[in-house]
Chains A and B, each alone.
Chain A
Amino acid sequence: QVQLVQSGAEVKKPGSSVKVSCKASGGTFSSYTISWVRQAPGQGLEWVGRIIPILGIANYAQKFQGRVTITADKSTSTAYMELSSLRSEDTAVYYCARAGSTDFDYWGQGTLVSVSS
């Protein structure tokens, strides 16, 4: 059974960066797309971007272009999402989701990133 375990909650200052990890177990890591989705408190879902680990190719929502980097380490079956120049509006729960029979079959538990001075 595929499981995605994300890193713990983070508290960051405005202008800093955060790197969230998503470790996969079960199944083949490299062959399946991993997406990152965020949800601000009381708000809707927002797609951030995705990576195809076997190719190392990522694409991002226009809103985050230049500020987000998604990477994958095939040796540890871990995907990462790094967001820079943080502002208060980036406060959200960040989810990773892995493809299976659909592009969003398996979800991590979510990581709360809080940005506050």
Chain B
Amino acid sequence: QAVVTQEPSLTVSPGGTVTLTCGSSTGAVTSGHYPYWFQQKPGQAPRTLIYDTSNKHSWPPARFSGSLLGGKAALTLSGAQPEDEAEYYCLLSYSGVWVFGGGTKLTVL
């Protein structure tokens, strides 16, 4: 089974910009992996932020965006807010079998 890698932790200043990445042990991440990004806060179920690389779900504010960058999936947060502090998980599809990354703990400080 493929391994999906994310930065374990990142810190961003309020109002700053940060990019989280999501790599695959099998090679470059492409749109064919249908990358998802989820946000999870303590004690809560995950929520879908981004699907199919760059499509935003109905709820995330405009400061969140998804893309492919340097062979990885990327989640960019522009203008971080204190409420964005959370764990972020990417998810990739390998021919219908989904694999989560280990998650990135994002601190807004």
Question: A residues engaging B (CB < 8 A)?
Answer: 35, 37, 44-47, 50, 59-63, 95, 101-105, 107-110
Q: Could you say which of B48, B96, B97, B103 contacts A104, with CB atoms under 8 Å apart?
A: B48
Other-chain residue from A60, A62, A102, A110 in contact with B36 (beta carbon distance below 8 A): A102
Cβ A107 vs Cβ B103 within 8 A? no
Bound CA–CA A107/B57 (angstroms): 14
* Bound-state Cα–Cα, A110 to B44, Å: 9
Looking at chain B, what size class is its interface with the partner chain?
A: 20 to 34
| Binding site secondary structure of chain B | strand
Q: Which 6 A-B pairs have the closest CB atoms?
A: A107-B45, A47-B98, A102-B51, A44-B103, A62-B1, A45-B100
Q: Which residue of A lies closest to B98 (CB)?
A: A47
Query: What's the minimum C-beta distance from B87 to chain A, rounded to whole angstroms?
Result: 8
Given the known A-B contacts A61-B1, A61-B97, A104-B38, are A44 and B89 also in contact in the complex, defined by CB atoms under 8 Å? Answer: yes
Chain B residues close to A by CB (< 8 Å): 1, 36, 38, 40, 45-48, 51-52, 55, 57-58, 87, 89, 91, 96-103
Residue of B nearest to A105 (CB): B48
Known: A35-B98, A44-B102, A46-B100. A103 touches B89 (CB 8 A): no
Q: How far is the CA of A95 from the CA of B45 in the complex (A)?
A: 8
Most buried by B among A44, A105, A108: A44
